[in-house]
Amino acid sequence: MPISGTWWVSKTACARIPGALSRAGTDWQLDLIGTLPITQSQEEGLALSDLVTIHGFCHGQHYTLQGCSVEITGGPSETFEKIEPGEPGDDQNWMRCSVQTVLRGHLVFEGTLYEQAAFQLIGLEQWWPLSGFKGAVSDEYEAPPGLDIVCHDDTRITITARDKRSQTDRSRTLTESVVVTARRKDGFTLDWLQANVITPLRALVAIGLQTPSGVSGLRLVPRHEHGPDSTVTGRPSWADVVEAQPARTAVPGRSWRRPPALAPGAETMSAFIPTWIHVARTCAVALDAVETRLRHNSLQGQLLEAVNAAETLQRQLHPDPGEFRFAEQVRQALSDAGGFTSAQRRRVRDAVKFTEMSLEQRLRRLVEGMGPGLSGWLFHNGGSADSWALCTATVRNVLSHGFTPRYTVHTDPAALIAMTEYTRLVITLRLMAEAGLSSDASLIARMDTDGNLRHVQRQRLVDWDQLARDIGSRR
């Protein structure tokens, strides 16, 4: 249903024109009768668009459209005498703009930071271990205390379970939802919130439930206001983020009474989440490769994404040494032998330095970083971690560098699936271990009863030791 009203930009707030905001697939678009003073570049070539903020008033509510750019314009001004925006006759022109973010209920001006945000995550109710439903009787509800978390950059996050009641003559309903609230003293932008708070928490829930998650009900409190149309009345005013395509992911068959395997307990949650957020921010590439979501690229593409992410993660968690002794020995040997310029010696040294630790070694170290408990569980059946590392590194190098091997494992769907799923699980367990998830007997027991994790651990697609021997014999 289009949202019709009047629209303007802050620098020409007195000139308001009619238009309708509507959903176009997964995005928003604004169709205007008339034009707004928005610059539309006529130059060809790849470039970043100048994004503007458009304000509106529709059905008794204020709207703020952020990240707007002109898609197309039309009307008499395109073929006859130019009519400036707001002048008589401009209503014969029209303009269509693409919109990135829609805020409802408040006017937010360009440059405004937010001081507070509240949102829900799909699946958080099933992931969160605290609930007010302690007894067997549905009316017995006592909200559990909220969990206050202070991140490493002083961002404060509160996670609370809230009840919602409704009643009619013949029915009474009591439901519970889990809400995340984030605050930051210096303020934040919506992009910062998405990257540094929402994405780490969403990925944590998705990894734990092994189901895609998403954000819903996002609300923001602007930190400061300026401009002639400010609606501040002395108390914080919330602005709702309206999604063009609301998240509808379902999480079937889950209960907060049976927490997921890869999740901290209630008693360690306050220490785990700040560390997890720090790890997720630092290792964003690896996190993106393992967060549960629908992927459309080929098996080879998925394997490359996973293994490259694993290599990146190992480099981030285990930085290379400051000195590369073997590379320096090679450079010195070339210098002593003579016949090479200093530039040639540096080139050889840099090449040796880059390969001094192979991808196979990096993958092995990534497994070692999981700890003996997790690595022993993962490679309990079907071969050793060393064999998995050799096979996975060899196939990645073939696909990445275009080698012509004497084996065909890089085209075998079964092997590609096994390598990809194992690599993703190695990354996931290494991230969890880095964030402080205890790999004690209780975690191993939960993993043994998790069907999805056990499904990967007990794969019968390949035998890593046998595959490693086949590859080694044909090198």
* Residues near 129 by beta carbon (within 8 Å), at least 6 away in sequence: 256, 259, 263, 265, 266, 269
220 in Cβ contact with 242 (< 8 Å): no
Tabulate helix, strand, coil % of the chain (nearest 5).
40, 20, 40
Amino acid in the structure at residue 360: E
Give the residue-averaged pLDDT of 212-238: 72
How do residues 378-392 score in pLDDT, each as one tens digit? 997 657 899 999 999
Residue 404 has a CB neighbour count (10 Å cut-off) of 5
pLDDT at 227: 45
Per-residue pLDDT reduced to its tens digit, 154-172? 999 999 998 877 778 887 7
16, 32 Cβ separation under 8 angstroms: no
State the average pLDDT for the chain.
Answer: 85
Dist CA 461 CA 475 (whole Å): 22
Nearest-5° angle of CA 349, CA 351, CA 352? 65
Question: How deeply is 135 buried, as exposed, middle or buried, from its count of CB atoms within 10 A (0-12, 13-18, 19+)?
Answer: exposed
- pLDDT for position 228: 45
Q: What does the pLDDT look like over 272-282, one tens digit per residue?
A: 999 999 999 99
What would the mean pLDDT of 27-50 be, rounded to a whole number? 79
